[in-house]
Amino acid sequence: MRKFIYSILILLVAVIVGDWAMGRWLRHIYEHTHCDEIGRLNYISDSVTADIVVLGSSRALHHYVPSTITDSTGLSCYNCGFENEGIVFHYALLRQLQQRYRPRLVVYELTYDYDIQYLSWRPANLKHIHAMGELQCRDSILHSVDPWERVKMLSRIYPYNSMAFAALASREPTTYDSAFVDNGYIPQFKHMQLDPDWQFHPQKWDDQIDTLKVSYLKKMITENAGHLLIVVSPRYLSPEDNIYGMVQQLCNEHGVPFVCMVSDPVISRDISLWEDDGHLNHTGALMFTRAIVPHIKKVLTENNKQ
């Protein structure tokens, strides 16, 4: 019996030591990755010090041109948009940035399905929060999404296991890196071609409010009032500007400006400006960025008066 217990203890120690060693190695690989998606997140987390930062999903990534914002405001700007990520991730990313410095203005591109709607939340998107080792509130964020995360995070391997292959594969520069030339903005150059039978199908919003997402939207608004602008950029032929009443109310309560351009009468109706029905091409992004700059300048001016 004693031999059995000793064997179990030795095995347990071996597992713990192996987990610690492998986790430390994976973290080293992750932190020294400078390509692709992981490299982008590392750069944002460790190096961005812009006066103005843009956060949000792929619609932020492809719609805001930092050089245009800088030319108009005289302030540095970096686009921190991230594909397939919503408010929980971007709240965590902003908190991580703020541990190093506080941007003068945060522009948040709100995407309804990623930031409010229930069905689009996928726990797999926690993978990028797992790897935020320096984020002081990381564990509380993870626990709010899934209470089991506290147990899972006892493993040193777990934070990196879903990205281990990507980190190991991203050792050489790729064409993705050339997209960093304009401070994080990723331009798109295709033009949408509509199928003759294409129709706009608005999503069903009723009874699909994700209270977790809304709670983090409230956190972002309350914690950054005075230095935050929330925007909904255009969608192609979208009639959905009436679904943002809750967001407008939240912003009004905390003095945060909210600009909804989802149904902009020019941009949303000009097919030549679109890559697909949710993303502008570079020409459209330039037009939209010029349109949003006055709102950015207004917030900056009001901040200077305070």
**pLDDT-derived band at 176, boundaries 50, 70, 90:** very low
* pLDDT value at residue 103: 95
Residue 276 belongs to what H/E stretch? strand 274-276
**pLDDT-derived band at 65, boundaries 50, 70, 90:** very high
DSSP 3-state assignment of 274?
Answer: strand
Range of the domain at 296: 2-305
Q: What angle do CA 45, 60, 78 make, to 5 degrees?
A: 45
Contact yes or no for 69/289 (Cβ under 8 A) = yes
* pLDDT value at residue 208: 79
CATH number of the domain to which 126 belongs: 3.40.50.1110
Give percent of the chain with pLDDT exceeding 70. 80
- The 10s digit of each residue's pLDDT in 112-131 is 888 988 765 565 578 888 88
Contact yes or no for 72/97 (Cβ under 8 A) = no
* pLDDT value at residue 124: 56
Residue 109 belongs to what H/E stretch? strand 105-109
Does residue 44 surpass a pLDDT of 80?
Answer: yes
Q: What angle do CA 44, 80, 129 make, to 5 degrees?
A: 65
* pLDDT value at residue 15: 66
Does residue 141 surpass a pLDDT of 60?
Answer: yes
- The 10s digit of each residue's pLDDT in 74-97 is 999 999 999 889 899 999 999 999
Q: Which residue has the tokens 């790729």?
A: 174
* pLDDT value at residue 182: 82
* pLDDT value at residue 178: 45
Strands 279-280 and 274-276, how do they pair?
Answer: antiparallel
How far apart, in Å, are the Cα atoms of 142 and each of 33, 46, 92, 211, 214? 24, 21, 10, 15, 16
How many structural domains comprise the chain? 1
Instruction: Determine the number of helices (DSSP H) and then strands (DSSP E) in the chain.
Output: 14, 7
